[in-house]
Chain A
Amino acid sequence: MTAFFDLFVSHSNPEGWADPTWADRRFSELVAASPFHLWHPGDPIPERDVRYLIGVATWSGYDMRLLDALAEALTAHPNDPPVIDVFNTADCPHPQDFHRYISGLGTVSHTPVMGFWNNGELKWSGQGYDAREWIAGIFDLSSAEIAAFVQDWIKAQAHA
């Protein structure tokens, strides 16, 4: 499954350069067909159990590969999957916009951005490498493999 990674690929090819917002427009359609839920500020936060919120950039191969890997992990364990809400960082044109998604996140310099709630209370937040490592550990994924997948793909284009 490479559905989300295809959005990164679109940023890499001439068709994507000509229409750089295509991937962001397509993002919500892919989320609707995935185990994730597209979350908007003002939407309810579950008051019971756990909830993850992940903000990703379609131009980041690392973020797109992470979503594909998480989707695969959820599909492999369909019983009582946790709530994973997602949003597109393109919906945050200003630094302070991130605080409408995850309060107390601090200055965002890297994606993904992430929050974890338990019984309606924010328990953890982070961004970039740390966030990818954290969520990968929860779902028994390898952050290093996600990074290697992206680097290998880029190298393969150079040798194509």
Chain B
Amino acid sequence: MPFNRRRGSLRKDDDLGFCELSFQRRPELVSIVRRFVSDFYDRTLADPDASSRVALATHELLENAVKYARDGQAKVRIEVSVQGRSAHIRIRTHNRAAPEDAEYIRRTISEMRLSSDPNLYYLDVIRRNARRTEGSGLGLARIHAEAEMDVSVKCGAKGAVTVIAETDVQLSEAAVTARGVA
């Protein structure tokens, strides 16, 4: 894969259906990763809409992880578990964030999970943040509403933050056929 060994690494295992990338602060890599995972999702899911949604989520999560990494290092892991005609997709990003950023993420996700309607919550966040000057404040709500993914967070020691977005998707006929699932 076209990644500089000093800057990043790539691991891919088709049998387990996951890929994991880690790299230092290079925002231009985020779009490269989005295109790579779009291809990964396209081939695994054969569902353009699902691919588009999870690619959007991957981009937003990774961009946040890179932007708010105190040491400039971020990691993304994408898992696709296929069971029969459905797949569970889980995207995890990991970084070490400043305490106030970790607290903001924890608080935002907690508030978001209390909302019963992702789209209404998203609209509310759009209204609240329309004139905000620092950061968009929209990324997590966008993942929840537009990408239709559940979002959770784990905060660990020394500022470790893992944000997880996950969803179930029905596999298309093309994907089922390609995998030989009855």
Binding between chains A and B: no
A→B interface (CB under 8 Å): none
